[in-house]
Amino acid sequence: MADGEPSDLSVADPVSTSSRVLGVLDLFTEAEPVWTTERMAERLAASRATIYRYLQALMASGFLSQLGGGAYALGPRIIELDRQMRVADPVLRVAPGVMAAQRDQVAGTQLLCRYYGLRVFSIFEERSDPRIRTSFDRGRPFSLFRSSASRIILANLPSKHLRRLFLQHAGDIAAAGLGTRWPEFRDLLKAVRKRGVAVASDIDTELIGIAAPIFAAPEIITGSLVLVRIRSEVTDRDTEFLSALALDSARQISARLEDAGL
């Protein structure tokens, strides 16, 4: 099982003040969930006064919470926004119904995945095989360069975006076996895009994931639908069947999203 995270999942240099303020939230990780003003100032290379100004904005909006002793942790606003997404997010209003409808046909686990920056993760899960334990806990991030969920997203990214990714992360891309040179990377993804689905077992090696792309609008990839089964139990015919199923359901989701968009 499972250790998919590269050491640094953060995107390139933030410049604007707002990005730096939002960047404060990146500090709060599983390993370091509590930060003092001193350590923030040091890490962000800013003066204490500036850190306190940042904290003022983040505390007022509930994104951070005070612990005493100059220490801070993430705040309750996040849980409020989580509910807001659960009750009103277009993707979460559309996809679960489609996933439930194909539950028995999948006979495994389904993951609804989304991405931002260099991270991919599940935001909703539908299970029918209790034996399957994926590493994709809701909200747990993985590299955009690993997993079927990621690959089908990459494959549908605009090539301008892909080019930038390749220039900035050639090392990670090579390490993930996605090619060492731009034409190789591009052509590999082009093939995935043409096939429509990505199939992989690189996060949980005993499982197989079959991922199809979800579009928020034509050409705007916003996530993926992944069907997960136990690899040893899946024949080539099963894979074909599941691919067609994933593709069809993902298209249904995309279609409904494009309607909901307006």
Q: Which residues bind DNA (CB under 7 A)?
A: 14-18, 20, 36-38, 45-50, 52-56, 66, 69-70, 158, 160, 218-219
Burial category of 99 from C-beta neighbours within 10 Å (exposed 0-12, middle 13-18, buried 19 and up): buried
Nearer to DNA, 52 or 182 (CB): 52
By a kind-dependent CB cut-off of 5 to 8 A, residue 81 interacts, out of DNA, its own copies, none, with its own copies
Check residue 44 for interaction with its own copies (CB under 8 A). no
Residue placing its CB nearer to its own copies in the complex, 78 or 244: 78
> Which residues are paired to 120 by β-bridges?
115, 142
Q: How far is CA 16 from CA 21, 23, 97, 240, in A?
A: 9, 10, 40, 47
Select the binding partner of residue 146 from its own copies, DNA, none (C-beta < 5 to 8 A, by kind). Answer: none
β 109-116/71-74 pair status: unpaired
Burial of 92 (0-12, 13-18, 19+ CB in 10 A): middle
Does 11 interact with its own copies (rule: CB under 8 A)?
yes
Residue 211 sits at the vertex; the CA angle it makes with 205 and 216, to the nearest 5 degrees, is 145
List binders of its own copies among 67-86 (CB under 8 A). Answer: 67-69, 71, 73-86
- Tokens encoding 170: 């050639």
Residue of 2, 101, 217, 255 interacting with its own copies (CB under 8 A): 217
Least distance (Å) from its own copies to the CB of residue 237?
A: 34
Kindly identify the residues of this chain, within the stretch 111-150, that bind its own copies according to CB under 8 A. 114-117, 119, 121, 123, 137-141
